[in-house]
Amino acid sequence: MLKIYRVDAINPSIDIIRRAGEYIKGGNLVAFPTETVYGLGADTFNGDACLKIFKAKGRPPDNPLIVHIADFDELNKVATDVPEFVWSIIKKAWPGPLTLILPKAPDVPKEVTGGRNTVAVRSPAHPVALALIKSSEVPIAAPSANKSGRPSPTLAEHIVEDYKDDDIDMVVLDAGPTFFGVESTIIDVTKNPPVLLRPGPYTLEELKALFGMDIVVPEFARGLGEADTALAPGMKYRHYAPRTRLTIIECEKYEQLVKLLRDVAIDNMKKGIRVALLITRETSEMLLRDYPEIGNLPIIILGYRENPYTIAASLFDSLRNLDKINVDLGIAEGIEERGIGLAVMNRLRKASSFSRVKC
C-alpha cells in the first residue's frame, strides 16, 4: 500500500518525519523529495531493504543507487580514501545537486553499488530529505522514485501514477514540486581529470570553477550515443522515455529552428501522423503568429527559452503529459547546451532514443 503524507517542504512535521524514519529503520521504503527529483529510499546498510527498491522499480540489479547523507562526517561510513581536494569541494558544494563517485567503504552492500568498488554519494539540499536521513540515523540509498524507464518524478502524483496498481509497501512524503526538476550532476572523482558522467543542476561551468581544473565530458554525458556499461543513467538502459515517440529539433539559429519545427510537423501531419509540440512559450507565440496553420496542434509548454531553469523544472512532467494526450509523435524544441541546458538536452535526447532532426 502507498501511504502518502503531505509535509511542508521547509518545516516538515516532526511527527511524520519520525514515522518515516522508523519505516527506513525497519527495512522499508520511503519515497522522499529532494531539490532535484523524488527518490525512493532505503537503509544503505541493509542489502535486503535496498533489494526492495530494485523490485519495486523493476530496476536492473547492476544499475547502482546514490547514497544520501545529511552530515559531511557520514561520508567516512560509505566511502574511503577521500582525497583532500574532494573534501574542500564537498564543503563548498554540499548540500546540493552534486553526486560524487568515490571508492566505497567495506560496509556498503553490493546491492547499493551494483557490485562495483565505487559508490555514488551526495547530500541533498532539501529540508525534508535532510530531516528524514537524520531521523533514520543511517545514510539513505536511493535512485529516482519512478518506475524503471519512466521519467523521474518531480511531483508525488507521479509516484502514485507509477505504483498505484502495485502490491507494494511504501511511505510517500509529498512536499509538492521539486525545485530543479532534473537529477543531480554526477562526477567521477576517482579519475584524473574528473569525468562528468551526467550533467545536472550543478552546471559544467560551475564545476570547472569549483574544481579549478578541466573536466572530461564524454559524448554520452551530452546524451549523444550510448556507452557499454551502466555508468550513468540512460547510458545502457532506456531512460526518461515517454511511451509516445519523440523527436527533437536542433538548430543553432533560432529562426531556422522555428521554421524546421513547422516543416517537420506539417510533413508528419500529411502522413496522417497525429503530432503534438513540446515547445517553449516564446516559440509557441512565434509559431502562432508566423505559421497559424499549425496553431491548432496540441502544444505542451516547456517553460521559457529565456530561462532554461523553467524548462528543466517542467521537463519530466511534460514528458508524462505527452502520454496523456492521444498522439503518435511528440516534436520537441532543442535548446542551447549551456548552463542547465546541457542537462535538459541530455534528458531530451535519451527520452527521444536519440531521434533528432538537425538544421
How many Å apart are CA 232 and CA 95, to the nearest integer?
A: 21
CB of residue 193 vs Mg ion: minimum separation in angstroms? 26
* DSSP letter (8 states) at residue 296: T
**In the range 20-79, which residues lie near ligand TXA by CB under 6 A?**
34, 36-37, 39, 63-66
CB of residue 67 vs ligand TXA: minimum separation in angstroms? 8
- Residue 172 or residue 249: which is nearer to ligand TXA going by CB? 172
How many Å apart are CA 11 and CA 131, to the nearest integer?
A: 10
**Residue 358 cell numbers, joined:** 538537425
**Residue 228 cell numbers, joined:** 557499454
With contacts defined by CB under 6 A, name the span among 46-54, 96-104, 270-278, 298-306 that binds ligand TXA. 96-104
CB of residue 300 vs ligand TXA: minimum separation in angstroms? 22
Total chain residues near ligand TXA (CB under 6 A) = 29
The one of Mg ion, ligand TXA, none whose footprint includes residue 197, by CB under 5 to 8 A per kind, is ligand TXA
Please give the distance of CA 38 from its chain centroid, rounded to a whole number. Answer: 9
* DSSP letter (8 states) at residue 309: H
Residue number closest to ligand TXA, CB atom: 39
Contact 182, 309 (CB under 8 A): no
- Residue 175 or residue 197: which is nearer to ligand TXA going by CB? 197
**102-121 footprint of ligand TXA as x/- string (CB under 6 A):** -----------x--x-xxx-
- Residue 60 or residue 295: which is nearer to ligand TXA going by CB? 60
Contact 332, 305 (CB under 8 A): no
- Residue 261 or residue 343: which is nearer to Mg ion going by CB? 343
Contact 194, 188 (CB under 8 A): yes
CB of residue 68 vs ligand TXA: minimum separation in angstroms? 6
With contacts defined by CB under 6 A, name the span among 20-28, 178-186, 245-253, 274-282 that binds ligand TXA. 178-186
Binding site for Mg ion (CB under 5 A): 143-144
Quick check: 199 binds ligand TXA (CB under 6 A)? no
At 313, the amino acid letter reads A
How many Å apart are CA 345 and CA 334, to the nearest integer?
A: 7
Contact 199, 180 (CB under 8 A): no
> Whose CA is closest to 145, among 127, 135, 134, 157?
157
- Residue 150 or residue 356: which is nearer to Mg ion going by CB? 150
How many Å apart are CA 189 and CA 324, to the nearest integer?
A: 40
Contact 336, 314 (CB under 8 A): no
Phi, psi of 293 (to 5 degrees): -65, -20
**In the range 224-283, which residues lie near ligand TXA by CB under 6 A?**
230-233
Burial of residue 76, with CB atoms counted within 10 A of its CB: 0-12 exposed, 13-18 middle, 19 or more buried: exposed
**In the range 337-356, which residues lie near ligand TXA by CB under 6 A?**
none
The one of ligand TXA, Mg ion, none whose footprint includes residue 352, by CB under 5 to 8 A per kind, is none
The one of ligand TXA, Mg ion, none whose footprint includes residue 120, by CB under 5 to 8 A per kind, is ligand TXA
How many Å apart are CA 177 and CA 36, to the nearest integer?
A: 10
Of the residues 49, 86, 90, 101, which one makes contact with ligand TXA according to CB under 6 A: 101
**306-325 footprint of ligand TXA as x/- string (CB under 6 A):** --------------------
> Whose CA is closest to 345, among 320, 311, 314?
311
The residue ranges that bind ligand TXA (CB under 6 A) are 34, 36-37, 39, 63-66, 97, 99, 101, 113, 116, 118-120, 124, 142-144, 152, 183-184, 186, 197, 230-233
